[in-house]
Amino acid sequence: MTLQKHLIFTALGGIFLFAVTQQLEPFRNYQLATMAAYLCATAGLTILTGLNGQISLGHGALMAVGAYTMAFAQNGIGNLYLSLLLAMLATTAVGAIIGVAAARLRGPYLAGLTLAVALAIPAFTVTFDGLFNSEQGLPVSFTPPETLPIETWQALTAGGSALLVMFLLANVVSSRFGRAMRAVRDNEVAARLAGIHVARTQVLSFVISAAPAGLGGALLAFLAQNVSPGAFSLTLSLYLLLAIVIGGLGNLAGAVWGAFLLVALPDLTNSLTEGITASPELARKLDGNLALAIFGLTLIVVMLVAPGGLQSLVQRISHRIRKGRNHV
């Protein structure tokens, strides 16, 4: 049974998460938490782009919606889990609005519209600065528990949320609705003939994909303990897109790869640039940009050489190993 399989995977993931967070040093725990926050967003985007064939450059903006809702709820009410839930609900509502517009649009038109959404986010915070406090952003206050180190607590919260998201999305993927999404992606006319309501499926896909993105944004705000428009630039949206493409479109495991790369690669290039710093001037220019350049180049190469992404590469290799074993 698929549900049982997903339950077992989630339970194992939970145990693994708990064991790992106890062992890691605080900084690694913080990175793990960041990865979990990204994973929520990349998993949501995988559902939308990979399974339903709609592109979105606006998921960074949806994360911003989640993050700002988190800030409001946390500073107003102060219950962490309630705030996370509210962030998801608010993002779901915004996602539904964008989704209604998106269901009428295809390919480059949709990309252009969502790009405009991503670029408008800082403008919203400046225009309504009484509410969003323009470029400075808002603090996100919370009281950490006394029994745990704060990073461990953050990693547990974010990791647990990500596990829950993965469990729910995995069930969506293998459900009747998941099949409808794929049918709409592959052939709209055939899907319509099979009795699938195409537009409704597309709007619902956008909604399902927006909710975890909002949760991811809320988790990022929770980790950074503040929220500002700079954290949700167009680059973030492009990052998310390239993470799912490199990881493997249409496969939730690809979202895990993508989230891992988003945290690991900048860390790696940072330590690289620190190692070779000839001058502080050069280091400042390389800082951040090197990771971006590698990401961009990887994205192009992956699209040209292996459009299935890392996950398809892993599958191909494991398939070959299994085949080799059978031959012996």
Partner 1 sequence: MDRFVFLTFDGLSNGAVYAAFALALVLIWRAARVVNFAQGAMAVAAAYAAYSVTQATGSYWIGFAAALGTGLMIGALVERAVMRFVGHANPLNEVIVALGLVLFIQAVLGMLYGNEFLPSHTPFSRNAIEVGGVPLLSRYDLFVFGAVAALVLLLALLFTKTSTGLRMRAAAFAPEVSRLLGVNVGGMLTLGWALASAVGALAAMLVIPTELGLNPHAMDLVFVTSFTAAVIGGLDSPPGAVTGGMAVGLILSYVSGYLGSSVTPIAVLALLLIVLLVRPGGLFSATVARQA
| Spatial distance between the Cα atoms of 80 and 100, rounded to a whole number of angstroms | 30
How many residues of this chain interact with partner 1, rule: CB under 8 A? 48
| Candidate list 111, 168, 231, 268; residue touching partner 1; CB under 8 A | 111
Least distance (Å) between residue 307 CB and partner 1 = 7
| Spatial distance between the Cα atoms of 99 and 196, rounded to a whole number of angstroms | 17
Least distance (Å) between residue 137 CB and partner 1 = 15
Residue among 296, 33, 305, 240 nearest 154 (CA): 33
Q: Does residue number 230 form part of the binding site for partner 1 (CB under 8 A)? A: no
Token pair belonging to 201: 């499926």
| Candidate list 1, 276, 278, 304; residue touching partner 1; CB under 8 A | 304
Q: Does residue number 55 form part of the binding site for partner 1 (CB under 8 A)? A: yes
H helices within 24-50, ranges in order?
26-45
Q: Does residue number 307 form part of the binding site for partner 1 (CB under 8 A)? A: yes
- Closer residue to partner 1 in complex, CB, 208/242: 242
| Spatial distance between the Cα atoms of 280 and 142, rounded to a whole number of angstroms | 37
H helices within the chain, ranges in order?
2-23, 26-45, 52, 59-76, 80-102, 107-127, 129-132, 150-173, 176-186, 188-193, 198-224, 234-247, 252-275, 280-286, 289-305, 309-327
| Candidate list 96, 105, 224, 314; residue touching partner 1; CB under 8 A | 105
Q: Does residue number 107 form part of the binding site for partner 1 (CB under 8 A)? A: yes
3-class secondary-structure state, position 74: helix
Selected range binding partner 1 among 70-78, 144-152, 294-302, 316-324, rule: CB under 8 A = 294-302
Least distance (Å) between residue 302 CB and partner 1 = 8
| Cβ contact 31:267 at 8 Å | yes
Instruction: Determine how many CB atoms are found less than 10 A away from the CB of residue 15.
Output: 10
- On the CB side of 283, CA atoms within 13 Å amount to 11
Site string for partner 1, 118-157 (x = CB under 8 A): -xx-xxx-xx------------------------------
Least distance (Å) between residue 87 CB and partner 1 = 22
Least distance (Å) between residue 55 CB and partner 1 = 5
**Interface residues toward partner 1, by CB under 8 A:** 49, 53, 55, 57, 101, 104-109, 111-113, 115-117, 119-120, 122-124, 126-127, 234-235, 238, 241-242, 245, 284-286, 288-293, 295-300, 303-304, 307
